[in-house]
Structure formats: structure tokens, C-alpha cells
Structure 1
Amino acid sequence: MTNLTPGFTQFFSGTELQNMASLYHPGWVSHGVVVSTAPELAIVIEALFLNKILSPALIEQMLSPAHVLGKYPVFDKLAYGLGLFIDLDSCYGKVSGHTGEGPGYSVAAFHFPNLVGSRITIATIANQDKPDRGLMIAYRTVQFLVDYGCL
């Protein structure tokens, strides 16, 4: 557990922030927690959408919504495909990826096929668990890139 970046949570105490790295190792079970770095996660998500991991036919199946859930804080029309969250009505094309959370961490990795004419993959890892924190950071980053003409 000494290789983990400190992740802070109130999960175990209920009130004060504790470094969960000494209390809980997220690698013991996969329930939405990624034991990785943001650059590694971005590389995997980008490779997925460049068809370097799965065939285009399988990616298309993953991007076919199994459930349409509707409006969600940053999604215009949130849907869920085979292992992917999908924003069906995004102005950036069919945005897709996933989030993960667990004690001490919040993660998001999303592929934007048309972010002001560019294909962009963004991965964020926050070391404090708050619902959708990684997701909100990813989308704020996108908004910053668009607003300030960084692309």
C-alpha cells in the first residue's frame, strides 16, 4: 500500500478526513476503482476508441445504448452502453467513457470525438472521494479548453 497516492475520505470516521491508503487498498476488489495513473488511464481509453484494443464492430456495440437515463449533471442525454457511459446529445459528438469511485478517490475517463474539431481523451483522478468529483473535473477541463481557445 505504500505505492498508493494518499486518498482522503471520511468513510471510516464519519467526520474527519483520513488517508485511506493505510486503511483500505482499492486493488483488492474492482468496484469502479482504478489502480493506475491518469496518463495510463487516458492511454487505455484513447486506444480503445482508436480500435487498438477491440474491433470497430465491438466498439460500436459498446456505444449502442442499452439504457437511456436522461439528463444528468454534465450530460445532456445520459445513456449506458456495454461498459460505457454515453452522452447522446453532447455538442462534442457521442462523448463516452466511465467513472469510478471508492474510499479516497474519484476517477473519470472520457473520450470527446469532436472537441472544437479535435479528438480529445481526458482522464482525471482526484484523491478525495466526493460523488462525481472526477467527472466534474474532467468536464470543467473541457469547458476551460473550449472557453479559452486552447484547441
Structure 2
Amino acid sequence: MTRQPPLHACRLFDDGGCETFGDPDLMFPWWSVTKTAIAICALRLAEQGRLDLDAHMPDQPFTLHQLLTHRAGLPDYGSLPAYHAAVRADEEPWPRDALVEAAMAQGRLFAPGQGWRYSNVGYLLAREWIEAVAGQGLGDLVRAQIAGPLGLDSVVLAQTRGQFARTAWPEARRYHPGWVYHGCLIGTARDAARMMQGLFAGQLLRAESLSRMRETLRLGDALPGRPWTAHGYATGLMSGRVGAAGRAIGHSGAGPFSVNAVYHFPDLPRQVTVASFTDGHDEGVAEREAVRLAVSG
């Protein structure tokens, strides 16, 4: 018999309805949904005149916008077998420079703006660039630019094993969040949904900034084992179509022991944002649950 994974989710309707599935107080790793938060912080700082998304990083050929859209031509450390072996062995995270050197030894993949490749290294550099401009760490930036305005009380940038041990999955008790080099937010399913809903409701960005954030590079059609019938990437957002549910805009995430999907579905008669969290390694499980909850509302 196929095991049914545990599901913890929140469904928020634009008309004010809210439903939770599972314990609403449980904390979860947000994994790559953190990329959406980093992109929001960058766009808010740009609105405040504190940075230029299209400026080149000092001594580098790419811009901040190219980093945030995975178009800088940088490789990813996720392709390094030694990285995954070290995580499995529960080692301490590598020094930042050692990680970047190992990843960059794979070589640049294309000239900036001339291709697309998902890169956690790119988001590490984007985070560092934003922190340097703002004079604040990512945790403080998320509190000031996102969690504070929306009242997201649970959201924390996890930096220690002890903080990660607060999350729902038993495996988190021995995982160091420093292995997620761009940072890993933790929080409830409801606050993940509220962040995404607040973004698309215009509570975080001006209309022109949100429009730019949503500009999508189409990457292809269906993905095996996942609900996408067309998929692409915007600025810190996965964006495409999921069959009868129409457009889905948000982000999925995966770590060594859990997955999540946090998406806004604007084409449904009753617009809805869903955050789903489950254990395992297959992002498609969380994505399919998000779609199922969206269309069953």
C-alpha cells in the first residue's frame, strides 16, 4: 500500500475565508520559498531608492535582477555530490568561500541574460548584495519589509540547529540550516500563505514593481510527476499553468526530509492562495496537494 504522506496546509481566499489542515501552530522549513522573500526585499529596497535591480554587481558581469531570475549563468551547489554527502553525514556547513569555490569550479554556464539555470549560488550572492546595501541581515530585512507589514509573527530566519529543531519534522533536529546558503525561513503554513497572498494583494509592492516581479520566462510545458502543464520563472517566483486550475504563481521548496508548495491561483472563480507542507523528497506531492485544495474550495 502506498503511504499517504502527512499534509499540513492553509487555504486563504481573497474574500477573507481561511482554512487550515493539520496543527495550525506547527512550524516548517520554507526552503526555497525563502527565495520569494529575498526577491520581495530586493524590490522593496528598489522602491525605496536604496538599490538598482539593473546595476551590475561590483566586478561581476551580471545584475541583481539576473541573479533573482536565475539568468546570471551561475552553476548550483546542488549538483555537488560532496555537498550532499556532507549533509547526510550531519557535518557542520562548509565556510561560505569554500562552498562558492567548489560550486564555481563547475564553470559559468552561459553569458548573463543568455540562458536560464536554477542556482542557489545566485541567490546566496543576491542575499549578500541586498544585505550590504541595506546594512541589515536577511532576518532583520524580512521582519522589516515583509513580516512586520503583514503581521507574520511566526516567521524567523533559522540560523542554528536549535531554531530548526522547532519545526515539525523529527529529522530537523539534526539538520543545520546553514547548509541553505541563501538562508532558510521557518514559520507556519498560514504565514507562508499570508506572505504570498499579501504579495499578490498589493500589500507589499507597488503595482509597477509587482508587475515586473511577475514577468515570466517560459521554460517549457509539462514536468514529469508534477502538476505543471506549462512552467516558467519570474523574479523569485515559479510561474505557469496547472491544468484546470489555470495559472499558479508562487514557489516550491525541498530539503533533505520535507517539501512544500506555496501558490496563488488567480484564475479560479474564488481566488485562493494555498500553502502545503509534507515530508519526503518529492515537490510534486506538495504541489499536487496545493492544486487539489485550490480547486476544491
Is 1:46 the counterpart of 2:209? The answer is: no
TM-score, normalization by structure 2: 0.40
Q: TM-score, normalised by structure 1?
A: 0.74
- Runs of 4+ residues deviating >6 angstroms: none
1:103 aligns with 2:256: yes
Larger helix proportion of the pair: 2
The structure number with the bigger radius of gyration is 2
Distance in 2 of aligned mates of 1:139 and 1:34: 23
Query: Where does 1:121-140 land on structure 2 (aligned, <5 Å)?
Result: 121-126=273-278, 128-132=279-283, 133-140=285-292
- The alpha-carbon distance between structure 1 residues 104 and 89, as it changes in their structure 2 partners (threshold 3 A), is closer
User: Structure 2: 5+ residue runs without aligned partners?
Assistant: 1-161
Question: Which residue of the partner structure matches residue 80 of structure 1?
Answer: 233
Unaligned 5+ residue runs, structure 1?
A: 7-18
Corresponding letter in the other structure for 2:255: G
Percent identity, please: 26
Q: How many Å apart are 1:32 and its aligned residue?
A: 8.1
Q: Which residue identity is paired with 2:227? A: V
Contact (CA 8 Å) 1:27, 1:35: kept in 2 or not? no
Query: Aligned partner of 1:50: which letter?
Result: A
Between 1 and 2, higher relative CO (CA 8 Å, sep ≥ 6) is seen in 2
Letter in 1 for 2:167: L
Whether the 8 Å CA contact 2:227–2:242 is kept in 1: the answer is no
- Count matched residues: 131
In the aligned structure 2, how far is the partner of 1:84 from the partner of 1:122?
Answer: 15
Name the structure with the higher strand share.
1
Secondary structure, counterpart of 1:35 in structure 2: strand
Deviation at 1:140, TM superposition (A): 2.5
Aligned equivalents of 1:68, 1:76: Cα separation in 2: 11
Amino acid of the structure 2 residue aligned with 1:122: V
CA distance in 1, matches of 2:178, 2:270: 34
Q: What is the Cα-based RMSD across aligned positions, in Å?
A: 2.3
